Structure 1
Amino acid sequence: MKSITMLAMLIGMSCIAKAQSNESSLQEVRKIIEKSNATYADFANKNDGSILLRYTNDACLFPPNAAPVCGRNNMAKFFKDGPKVHTTFTIQHLYGDGKTFVTEESYYEMTDFNGKKIDEGKVVVVWKHTNEGWKMHRDMFSSNYPKK
């Protein structure tokens, strides 16, 4: 009986240690994602391809009411034709191991350059750890407003 109790305690402590380690890793990744999200619209507004550096080489966008946009050339066209806006992101949830993949659920708010709110919605991004650091691998977003 003592062996079973001891084994249960060791398993429990191992799970707690893993959860704490995972939480620490997620907190580090969260800071990286928050920094990337803070400059996201600035890069999109430049039309110089800088935003593509935030994505993996084989990334895909999943915009609302449209087919997926995959590959650097297609993504460059997508961003070039996009509106010039300010966008802020608020992370709601972050899931994953903090080592290879992390999934971000965020809320976004988009304003014009005069500060007038023009859209708000949700984002789900799968982040992948690469040799160059954390990059967006899949990016799905949609407005909370009805389709016009």
Structure 2
Amino acid sequence: MTLVFFIFCQKNFGQTSELEEAKKAIAESNAIYFKSYERNEPKLFTDRYAKDACLMEPGKPIMCGEDVVAEFFRKSYAGGTRSGEFITQEVFGAGDGYVVEVGLLKIYDGKGKQKDNGKYLVLWKKTPDGWKMFRDAFSSNQ
């Protein structure tokens, strides 16, 4: 019985530790995400995503891969996005090496005027390069 309790505690401790690690990495990645628009640096943007990431934009089919992520950056930059912010509301474990982030987003143009706001749901994946966005679903409130 003591051994079972010890194993259970160790496993839960590891999950909590991984969740805290993920939360920290998500906050750091989110802080960098919109800097890519401020600097017009697509690589800074695409580095937030796993190599096998998929975007789930409103009104479009699921599209996957590095080229899709890079093209999303180009189109949104050309559309006037220059900064924004993520407001994480919750992060919870989804299984070994995965966490889910739920939040709100705001998007601004080059003059600092809010051009959109919405919500998002991101499945993060622990990769050899750290925590990366694996599935990114978002939609506008407008």
Q: Which residue of structure 2 lines up, in the alignment, with residue 123 of structure 1?
A: 120
Q: 1:94 — aligned with what?
A: 91
Note the 1:31-50 alignment, pairs <5 A. Answer: 31-44=24-37, 46-50=40-44
Q: Which residue of 1 aligns with 2:109?
A: 112
> Which amino acid is the alignment partner of residue 124 of structure 1?
L
Paired residue type of 1:27: E
Does the 8 Å contact 2:54/2:64 carry over to 1?
yes
**Aligned pairs (5 A) from 1:1-148:** 7=1, 18-44=11-37, 46-82=40-76, 83-96=80-93, 100-145=97-142
TM-score, L = length of structure 1: 0.78
The answer to whether the 8 Å contact 1:107/1:121 transfers is yes
Report if aligned partners of 1:25, 1:98 keep a CA contact under 8 Å in 2: no
SS of the residue 1:65 aligns to: coil
Identity of aligned residues (%): 36
Letter in 2 for 1:131: P
One-letter amino acid of the structure 2 residue matched with residue 67 of structure 1: P
Shift of 1:56: 1.3
Instruction: Give TM-score, length-normalised by structure 2.
Output: 0.81
Runs of 5+ consecutive residues of structure 1 not aligned to the other structure: 1-6
Query: Does the Cα contact within 8 Å between 1:26 and 1:98 map onto a contact in 2?
Result: no
Which structure's CA Rg is the greater one?
Answer: 1
Aligned residues: 138
